[in-house]
Structure 1
Amino acid sequence: MRIAWRERSKRKDRGRRTMAASRKRGSKKGPRKGASKKRAKKKKAARRGPSPKQSGPRSSGPRFAGGGAGKKAAKKSAKKGRKKSAKKAARRRASKVAPSGGTGSSLWNQVLGKAQEEEKKHAGLVRLNAYLARCGVASRRKCDEWIEQGRVSIGGEIVRELGSKVDPLRDVVAVDGEALQPEKPVYVLLHKPKGVVCTNARGEEKTRAIDLISHVRGRVFPVGRLDLDSEGLLLLTNDGRFAESMTHPRYGVPKTYKVTLRGRIDEATLDKTRGGVWLAEGRSGQATIRITRRSKERTTLLVTIREGKNRELRRIFGRVGFPVLRLQRVKLGPLELKGLPKGKSRFLLPSEVDALLAATDPQAEG
């Protein structure tokens, strides 16, 4: 019995020395792989004593003092070693994925370098049609037509691809050989009289809308159009994006007209007109119609629509048998014509421009 007790004491001392060495080694560079498990197994075997195969029947002598404390210390040491090993493994994985300080995976550096080059390459680029519209030459749709026709060049080379991009700070963009520069946005409200055409093309004997605003410097163009016999509110600008927002059907900006018809129109015909009338290019959109004056000879209406086909209202009411005698646009979105004499113009206030843009509804149709 004494021999067995001494043997266990020696093993206990060896276990303590091994644990102390392990702690010292782990504080510097962490435990070796699998060392914690091996020590735990040895400690467990030491508490149990020699196995029957090695030293005969198991001794029934008392356990050595401090066995519980040794078990707790072994568990604590093993747990600490596993944590340090996990941290090292995490650091190794991180160094492979995202190296720091300029060292690490060369593959990562290549991928990152290519991404940065692409980002620098496309930084500051804008679509060609947007740049042309910003320069005030025309709306985006019109600029797309010019690009397809080969009228636009970048750095002296003709460009026909609609998705082309340009660097406004470096590239020289020209239309028909004339270099362009972005201009400060200009927004003009004109009370267009009858007999004035909404085009900038020269060679017309009739008065152009831009001829009535000769005091405005720089190139501007009409936003939408009013036919030769129509009058009223007409905007002119050099901002192509703004012009598209005001005229394209998908933005749904309401346009209100004062329409004078020949004859006394009845409610049944008005209801038919409100729902849409079939025209050559398809059914017209819905309209809001209110009668302001009616007699046997004439009927005056306020009509609001959200699209602007060529001479649309004249064709709609002509289709139902009531020719248009006078057509005047009195309102565009929240902007009204009130107080501006025929043939006169004025610049829009910034608040008016903001209100017009706020009136756009990309979800609206016809």
Structure 2
Amino acid sequence: MSERLQKVIAKSGITSRRKAEKLIESGQVKVNGKVVTELGVKVTNQDEIEVNDVPIEKEQPVYYLLYKPRGVISSASDDKGRKTVTDFFEGLEERIFPVGRLDYDTSGLIIMTNDGDFMNLLLHPRYRMDKEYIVKSKGIPAKEDLEKFKKGIRSDGDTLKAKHVKIMSIDKKKQTAIIKIILHQGKNRQIRRMFEAIGNPVMKLRRERFGFLTLEGLQPGEYRKLTPHEVDQLIKSANKIVK
């Protein structure tokens, strides 16, 4: 992910963004060995940046898997003062952000990182990684209605599809069902819209799996670091599809 040069300099901790802009305008900043004086220039993690001929220390990339509870915003901040996914990482030096989103009322697996290129790769439209969810529905959906998910359901101009859907259990007394659904798409409120379309609103929703990553060993609000091997596998599998 590319970012404005002054923002990258400020993130390195050597000065504020406003002072970074003055350093750029006065010719004290180089990108890949060339002096840059324009504020609109954007750089990536691969670019070498020097301030007064001294290379800046770039923030090391970090990668986490968080079990997001319900009632939490998938954002770095919230203007309404609600709890966000970054609130679980107090004391972390790096400024991290979520890869994609889970609805406020949806719990489950979400990846957190400060690596913009990694985020863009995982969110690329062609990167069709399995995303597995467990749904508790109001009412017991008919099998033929669930089969419609595989063909695609139209909703507000979108065609919403599921790769796989299966009823795991039903409660005839309470008239609820537990359903596993696997998506490749990532449309806004997709699963809730799909179930609303067949007349069985979602009561609870949890993302259980993202590719080979699962919530194993975690409770809501807990997180763990992704291993270098996990990060490498995610990048390799995405590159095979996107390129």
Q: Classify the TM-score, shorter chain.
A: 0.7 to 0.9
Is this contact kept in 2: 1:134–1:240, CA < 8 A?
Answer: no
Q: Which has the higher contact order (CA 8 A, sep 6+)?
A: 2
**Separation in 1 of the partners of 2:99 and 2:236?**
17
- Partner SS, residue 272 of structure 1: helix
Counterpart in 2 of 1:308?
A: 186
Residue 282 in 1 paired to residue 161 in 2?
no
Residue 360 in 1 paired to residue 241 in 2?
no
Counterpart in 1 of 2:50?
A: 170
Q: Against the structure 1 CA distance between its residues 317 and 262, is the aligned structure 2 distance closer, same or farther, given a 3 Å change threshold?
A: same
Segments of 5+ residues of structure 2 without an aligned counterpart are 12-19, 26-37
Give the Å deviation of 1:205.
1.8
Residue 318 in 1 paired to residue 187 in 2?
no
After superposition, give the CA deviation of every residue in 1:74-96 in whole Å (9 maximum; x if it has no partner): xxxxxxxxxxxxxxxxxxxxxxx
Out of 39, 50, 70, which is 1:158 matched to?
A: 39
- Partner SS, residue 251 of structure 1: coil
- Partner SS, residue 328 of structure 1: strand
Is this contact kept in 2: 1:250–1:362, CA < 8 A?
Answer: no
After superposition, give the CA deviation of every residue in 1:84-111 in whole Å (9 maximum; x if it has no partner): xxxxxxxxxxxxxxxxxxxxxxxxxxxx
**Separation in 2 of the partners of 1:199 and 1:255?**
20
Residue 257 in 1 paired to residue 140 in 2?
no
**Separation in 2 of the partners of 1:325 and 1:265?**
13
Counterpart in 2 of 1:83?
A: none
Counterpart in 2 of 1:337?
A: 215
Give the Å deviation of 1:326.
0.6
**Separation in 2 of the partners of 1:131 and 1:263?**
53
**Aligned residue type for 2:203:** L
Q: Against the structure 1 CA distance between its residues 134 and 275, is the aligned structure 2 distance closer, same or farther, given a 3 Å change threshold?
A: farther
Counterpart in 1 of 2:167?
A: 291
Name whichever structure is richer in strand by fraction.
2
Counterpart in 1 of 2:81?
A: 205
- Partner SS, residue 207 of structure 2: strand
Is this contact kept in 1: 2:6–2:39, CA < 8 A?
Answer: no
Is this contact kept in 2: 1:188–1:346, CA < 8 A?
Answer: yes
What is the CA RMSD across the aligned residues, in angstroms? 3.2
How many residues of Structure 1 are paired with residues of Structure 2 in the alignment? 215
Is this contact kept in 1: 2:5–2:39, CA < 8 A?
Answer: no
**Separation in 1 of the partners of 2:204 and 2:157?**
24
Instruction: Map 1:221-240; keep pairs closer than 5 Å.
Output: 221-240=97-116
Name whichever structure is richer in helix by fraction.
1
Is this contact kept in 2: 1:232–1:337, CA < 8 A?
Answer: yes
Residue 348 in 1 paired to residue 231 in 2?
no
Identity across aligned pairs (percent)?
31
TM-score computed with the length of structure 1 as normaliser: 0.53
Q: Which runs of 4+ in 1 moved over 4 A?
A: 127-135, 361-364
Give the Å deviation of 1:134.
8.8
Q: Against the structure 1 CA distance between its residues 231 and 167, is the aligned structure 2 distance closer, same or farther, given a 3 Å change threshold?
A: closer
User: Mean alpha-carbon deviation: is it higher for 266-275 or for 323-332?
Assistant: 266-275
User: Mean alpha-carbon deviation: is it higher for 230-239 or for 348-357?
Assistant: 348-357
Give the Å deviation of 1:191.
0.8
After superposition, give the CA deviation of every residue in 1:247-266 in whole Å (9 maximum; x if it has no partner): 22211122111111111111
**Separation in 2 of the partners of 1:288 and 1:218?**
37
